[in-house]
């Protein structure tokens, strides 16, 4: 037990900071958990990419296609692979609040630091119902809870509802998936002193850190934009902290080619493909020396043409050259 339930907010303020990432779950060709691959990727992010924390079992981890047993196993793999070097958040999203409780309890018992819970996506369409859902869970678990707001897709956690939820003792963080900056300004005013707020997007992170005073980036891009020896997201974050904004801006500008590839293939404008682009991320990771592998239905695999085009775009962005430049003589993949 890392902290008592009533210490969750304080623990959150201590741990929820810096540049975090969120990895996909790896699967084998016969559709089982790739435990070694999952562990390898996390070790790579900690040891080589210097990430400050990890959120497992999120949307990019295909949580909606994993059984509870598999999800619990991934909690354990994360704790084992992290070896206490960084804090871990487990995504405990589920249609059923009873199952959310089960997932949170397992995470806590396994040594995970926090649970993140998406707003309910079935049967809750009012502030009261969403509050009741979170309260039901929070009353039954000791783990610190991070709220996850994606107002474009799910019932929105407004400033008013956020205030109410922030009073729950073990609610300690807020992943803001709403992209409107003014919305987040009000949110920080409303709950930013009580719980830690992270805008879930690397793009405006320099601005949020430098101008808005944010300390925590919870996003799935850092392991896609960085390779061993070339850590621009880490570096511009450090430059902001050091007060060297010219350096920070220059480094952030150097990420633009990677952001453009990301916008094109993963979160891009007008790309209404209707599926989570998880295989795109796995292929990207393979190109950077991490473990990728297949995805599960309803995600779809990239075509051979798509894979080649993505590779060409990453080559053109300069990221693959950075990988080669910093390549170590030892093999990249080794089971931890």
Backbone conformation region of residue 293, classed left if phi is above 0, alpha if psi is from -120 to 50, else beta: left
Distance between CA atoms of residues 57 and 314, nearest Å: 26
Closer CB to its own copies, 4 or 253, in the complex = 253
Asked if 275 and 300 touch (Cβ cutoff 8 Å), the reply is yes
Contact status: 309 vs its own copies (CB under 8 A): no
Longest Cα separation, the chain? 57
Contacting its own copies (CB under 8 A), which of 241, 253, 326, 333?
Answer: 253
Q: How far is the CB of 216 from its own copies (least distance, A)?
A: 18
Contact status: 94 vs its own copies (CB under 8 A): yes
Contacting its own copies (CB under 8 A), which of 226, 252, 281, 317?
Answer: 252
Give the range of 9-17, 39-47, 60-68, 166-174 binding its own copies by CB under 8 A: 60-68
Contact status: 107 vs its own copies (CB under 8 A): no
Contact status: 243 vs its own copies (CB under 8 A): yes
- Residue where the block lists tokens 């990895």: 23
Contact status: 95 vs its own copies (CB under 8 A): yes
Contacting its own copies (CB under 8 A), which of 82, 187, 218, 288?
Answer: 187
Contacting its own copies (CB under 8 A), which of 2, 17, 105, 259?
Answer: 259
Q: How far is the CB of 174 from its own copies (least distance, A)?
A: 12
Contacting its own copies (CB under 8 A), which of 7, 35, 127, 238?
Answer: 127
Asked if 107 and 75 touch (Cβ cutoff 8 Å), the reply is yes
Please name every residue paired with 173 in a beta bridge, in sequence order, or none if there are none.
Answer: 146, 196
Q: How far is the CB of 192 from its own copies (least distance, A)?
A: 11
Contacting its own copies (CB under 8 A), which of 4, 32, 275, 326?
Answer: 275
Contact status: 257 vs its own copies (CB under 8 A): no
Q: State residue 215 phi and psi, 5-degree precision.
A: -115, -5
DSSP 98-118: HHHHHHHHHHHHHT--EEEEE
Distance between CA atoms of residues 53 and 81, nearest Å: 12
Closer CB to its own copies, 156 or 228, in the complex = 156
Q: State residue 30 phi and psi, 5-degree precision.
A: -100, 30
Q: How far is the CB of 197 from its own copies (least distance, A)?
A: 11
Q: State residue 86 phi and psi, 5-degree precision.
A: -140, 160
Distance between CA atoms of residues 327 and 2, nearest Å: 37
Give the range of 6-14, 20-28, 77-85, 242-250 binding its own copies by CB under 8 A: 242-250
Contact status: 32 vs its own copies (CB under 8 A): no
Give the range of 13-21, 48-56, 106-114, 252-260 binding its own copies by CB under 8 A: 252-260
Distance between CA atoms of residues 43 and 84, nearest Å: 11
Distance between CA atoms of residues 46 and 51, nearest Å: 5
Contact status: 194 vs its own copies (CB under 8 A): no
Distance between CA atoms of residues 188 and 176, nearest Å: 10
């Amino acid at each position: 037990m890392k902290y008592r339930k009533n210490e969750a907010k304080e623990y959150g303020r201590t741990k929820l900071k810096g540049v975090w990432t969120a990895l996909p779950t790896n699967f084998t060709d016969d559709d089982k958990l790739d435990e070694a691959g999952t562990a390898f990727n996390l070790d790579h992010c900690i040891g080589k990419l210097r990430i400050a924390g990890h959120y497992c079992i999120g949307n990019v981890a295909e949580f909606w296609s994993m059984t509870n047993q598999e999800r619990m196993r991934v909690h354990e793999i994360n704790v084992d692979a992290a070896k206490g070097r960084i804090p871990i958040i487990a995504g405990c999203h589920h249609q059923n609040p009873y199952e959310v409780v089960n997932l949170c309890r397992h995470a806590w018992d396994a040594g995970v630091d926090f649970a993140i819970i998406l707003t309910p996506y079935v049967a809750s369409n009012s502030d009261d119902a969403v509050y009741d859902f979170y309260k039901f869970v929070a009353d039954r678990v000791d783990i610190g809870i991070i709220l996850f707001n994606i107002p474009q897709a799910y019932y929105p956690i407004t400033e008013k509802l956020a205030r109410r939820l922030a009073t729950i003792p073990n609610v300690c963080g807020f992943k803001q998936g709403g992209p409107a900056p003014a919305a987040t300004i009000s949110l920080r005013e409303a709950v930013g002193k009580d719980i830690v707020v992270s805008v879930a997007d690397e793009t405006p992170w320099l601005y949020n850190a430098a101008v808005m005073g944010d300390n925590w980036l919870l996003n799935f891009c850092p392991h896609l934009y960085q390779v061993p020896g070339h850590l621009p997201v880490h570096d511009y974050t450090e430059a902001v902290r050091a007060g060297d904004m010219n350096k920070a801006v220059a480094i952030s500008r150097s990420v633009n080619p990677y952001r453009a590839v990301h916008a094109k293939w993963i979160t891009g404008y007008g790309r209404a493909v209707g599926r989570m682009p998880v295989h795109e991320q796995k292929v990207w990771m393979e190109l950077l020396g991490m473990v990728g592998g297949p995805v599960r239905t309803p995600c779809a695999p990239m075509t051979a043409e798509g894979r080649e085009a993505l590779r060409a775009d990453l080559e053109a962005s300069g990221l693959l050259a950075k990988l080669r430049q910093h390549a170590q003589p030892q093999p990249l993949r080794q089971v931890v």
